[in-house]
Every structure is written in C-alpha cells, then in structure tokens.
C-alpha cells in the first residue's frame, strides 16, 4: 500500500492527482499545517525536512515532487504517464525540475522570505518581485515548454498535474493568465479531468 502525505495548498496536489490518474491503490494522509503537524516528531520521522509531499512505499519513503511523480509513472507503466524514450523522459524530467527548482522557489518568496533572510524589508522586496518573476516563468513555459494540449504534446503525462499546481499559484501571484492562452487552455483542460475533480475535494 502506498501512502501520500499531503497538505492543502501545496505541491502535494500534483502526485495526488497522478496517483488517481494511475489507478493506484493508495491512502492519503492529511498533514495539518495549521497545527504545525509537519514539525511534529511523528511526521519528522517520515520526512525530516518537515515538508510535503512524502510518499511512503514498501521500499521506503520518497520526498521531492519530481522524484515522486517519476516514481508513480514508472510503477504504473500501463497508465502511460511518462515517455518511455530516454530523451523524452529526460525532457519531462527537465520540465518538472524547472518547476521545482525555479518556479516553486519564485512562488515561495511571497510567503517564505524568512528562508532566505531575517530582514523584514528584504522580505518585502522579495514579495514585490513575485508577480514579475512568476510572469517571466509563465512566459518561458508558454513559449518554450508547453507543446500543447499537454506539456509533452498529445500525450498526458506526469508533467501536467505539476503544471496545474503551478498555474493555480500563478493566478494568486499576480500573473494575468489572459496573456498566456496555452497555459489558460491547459488549466481549463486539467479542471475537466475526473481525477482532478475528485482530488480537489480534499485540497479545497
């Protein structure tokens, strides 16, 4: 049995959707951030970083969204959630890593500035830059990554739930999605998927 540890409003939404898309037999465990459960000894024993997602498997626990997405796609190959060609798989990985290492970090500057500085004025400057930085990321995704209708082209993949999460964040980070028709179309298509509709009931 697989257990996904998740919290609302986090990147854990992406693997949660992918588990549904894969038809996996899994359990979802809510980690209550409002009660600081992520810092409890019980949860730190699962993920010492005190973050989500964490995926508990029979072989051990995985953390970091791109790794978890790749694992789900490879464990459920019949669902065809990742390219099998090594080059195209690497392309999918490159996209998810861009979201994790650049876009997610840009988003985090809005509320998590204390990770980088204790200076309140500097944290405010970080927040002010978020709309511009996230808009730049949206432009790069729209022009250079999103092949359409899905990230990898005609085939839905492990990249699409992650982009859905990021696009949700962009909307609250001041990005005008009207300027990015491909992103907007992708977001709408994701909202129509049954797996997304089912999972969103737990993340809203």
* Domain identity same for 7 and 66: yes
pTM value > 0.85? yes
Share of the chain above pLDDT 70, in %: 100
Closest to 2 (Cα-Cα) out of 23, 24, 26: 26
- Strands across the sheet with 61-63, in order? 26-30, 2-6, 54-56, 61-63
Cβ-based neighbours of 199, under 8 Å, separated by 6 or more: 13, 16, 17, 20
Phi then psi for residue 98, to 5 deg, are -65, -45
- One domain, residues 109 and 126: yes
Q: Identify whether residues 176 and 92 lie together within a single domain.
A: yes
Query: Over the stretch 141-171, which tens digit does the pLDDT of each residue have?
Result: 999 999 999 999 999 999 999 999 999 999 9
177 and 100 inside one domain: yes
Q: What distance in Å separates the CA atoms of residue 129 and residue 109, rounded to the nearest whole number?
A: 8
Structural domain boundaries, residue 68: 2-79+199-203
Both 50 and 112 in a single domain?
no
Residues 43, 50 contacting (CB under 8 angstroms): yes
Count the domains in the chain. 2
Cα-flanking dihedrals φ and ψ of residue 178, to 5°?
-60, -25
Indicate whether 113 pLDDT > 90. no
34-81 pLDDT tens trace = 999 999 999 999 999 999 999 999 999 999 999 999 999 999 999 999
What's the CA gap between 86 and 108, in Å, rounded?
A: 31
Percent share of the chain, pLDDT over 90: 97
153 & 168 share domain: yes
């Amino acid at each position: 049995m697989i257990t996904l540890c998740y919290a609302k409003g986090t990147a854990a939404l992406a693997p949660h959707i992918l588990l549904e898309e894969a038809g996996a037999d899994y359990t979802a465990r809510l980690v209550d951030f409002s009660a600081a459960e992520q810092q409890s000894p019980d949860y730190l024993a699962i993920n010492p970083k005190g973050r989500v997602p964490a995926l508990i498997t029979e072989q051990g626990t995985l953390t970091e969204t791109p790794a978890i997405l790749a694992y789900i796609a490879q464990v459920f190959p019949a669902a065809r959630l990742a390219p099998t060609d090594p080059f195209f798989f690497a392309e999918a990985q490159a996209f998810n890593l861009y979201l994790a290492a650049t876009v997610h970090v840009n988003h985090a500057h809005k509320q998590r500035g204390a990770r980088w500085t204790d200076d309140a004025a500097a944290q405010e400057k970080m927040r002010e830059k978020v709309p511009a930085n996230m808009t730049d990321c949206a432009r790069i995704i729209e022009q250079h990554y999103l092949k359409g209708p899905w990230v990898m082209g005609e085939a839905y993949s492990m990249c699409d739930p992650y982009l859905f999460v990021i696009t949700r964040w962009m909307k609250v980070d001041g990005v005008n999605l009207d300027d990015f028709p491909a992103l907007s179309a992708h977001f709408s298509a994701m909202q129509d998927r049954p797996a997304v509709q089912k999972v969103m009931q737990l993340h809203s």
